[in-house]
């Protein structure tokens, strides 16, 4: 059954793990495991209250925590909803006390994202299953010109990568034509959810604003709203 939201949802208490507009409870439905311990560790690193700026965040601590987790599919499978009619699905896991969006993305074989930025926030990605190709681009400085590729890297299961707008733009693709790939993403601060981000044309550099408030699923339950994403 899909989740529905009230027209005027109450403000979420600080302990809630759900995104704005979703039901919240103090009860934690997830039994302890290494994946849930990782989520708790990331939340502890980010601190107890929302309002972080990008400069307040120790990215090295977050990357170290992500690298320390060895992926076990049984621990995160409840979040990993695939939909082969889409390039990928964005599945919400936790808010990190309002300081982050923690998402599991499931990538359709042979499909990927558009080129996009990260709303002046940090993005740490860990491959949980399969492999993913990341292509980096320079931020466009001249209108109506093709984007410039700076690097392409294939990441395997349990490898971690990081990007911010200081590094440039990127797109992510599943290079496997037959098997899905799964990744965990930490976006902090959660500015893309709040303000949207930009997708870019590889041929012209033209950017388009995209809202990122909706998810394919929230805490394992498929949402009724159609998500927008790059």
3-state percent helix, strand, coil for the chain, nearest multiple of 5? 15, 30, 50
Q: How far apart are CA 96 and CA 14, in angstroms?
A: 9
**Cβ(62)–Cβ(99) below 8 Å:** no
DSSP string of 34-84?
A: HHHHHHHHHHHHH-SSS---GGG--HHHHHHHHHHPPP-HHHHGGG----T
Q: What is the pLDDT of residues 35-61, one digit of tens each?
A: 999 999 999 999 887 666 777 889 999
Q: How far is residue 42 from each of residues 45, 48, 200, 214, measured CA to CA in Å?
A: 5, 11, 30, 22
Alpha carbon distance, N-terminus to C-terminus of the chain: 26
- Superfamily classification of domain 34-216: Jelly Rolls (2.60.120.10)
- Residue ranges in the chain modelled with pLDDT below 50: 1-15, 21-27
pLDDT score of 15: 42
pTM, two decimal places: 0.85
Q: How far apart are CA 54 and CA 186, in angstroms?
A: 13
Domain ranges of the chain: 34-216
Q: What is the pLDDT of residues 1-47, one digit of tens each?
A: 333 333 233 333 344 555 554 444 444 555 579 999 999 999 999 98
Which structure tokens are listed for 34?
């290494």
**Cβ(199)–Cβ(116) below 8 Å:** yes
Residue 23 known to bind ligand? no
Q: Is the peptide bond before 189 cis (omega within 30 degrees of 0)?
A: yes
**Cβ(90)–Cβ(229) below 8 Å:** yes
Residue 118 known to bind ligand? yes
Q: How far apart are CA 30 and CA 14, in angstroms?
A: 18
pLDDT score of 56: 81
């Amino acid at each position: 059954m899909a989740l529905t939201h009230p027209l005027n949802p109450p403000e979420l208490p600080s302990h809630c793990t759900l995104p704005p507009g979703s039901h919240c409870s103090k009860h934690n439905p997830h039994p302890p495991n290494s994946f849930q311990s990782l989520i708790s560790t990331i939340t502890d690193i980010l601190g107890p209250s929302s309002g972080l700026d990008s400069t307040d965040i120790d990215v090295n601590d977050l990357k170290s925590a992500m690298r320390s987790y060895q992926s076990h599919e049984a621990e995160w499978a409840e979040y990993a909803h695939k939909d082969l009619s889409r390039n990928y699905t964005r599945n919400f896991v936790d808010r990190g006390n309002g300081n982050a969006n923690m998402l599991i993305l499931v990538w359709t074989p042979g499909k990927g994202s558009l080129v996009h930025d990260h709303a002046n926030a940090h993005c740490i990605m860990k491959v949980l299953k399969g492999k993913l190709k990341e292509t980096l681009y320079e931020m466009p400085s001249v209108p109506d010109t093709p984007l410039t590729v700076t690097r392409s890297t294939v990441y395997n299961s349990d490898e971690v990568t990081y990007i911010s707008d200081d590094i440039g733009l990127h797109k992510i693709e599943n290079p496997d034509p037959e098997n899905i790939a799964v990744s965990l993403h930490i976006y902090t601060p959660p500015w893309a959810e709040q303000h949207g981000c930009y997708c870019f044309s590889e041929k012209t550099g033209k950017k388009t604003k995209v809202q990122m408030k909706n998810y394919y699923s929230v805490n394992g339950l498929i949402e009724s709203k159609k998500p927008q994403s790059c």
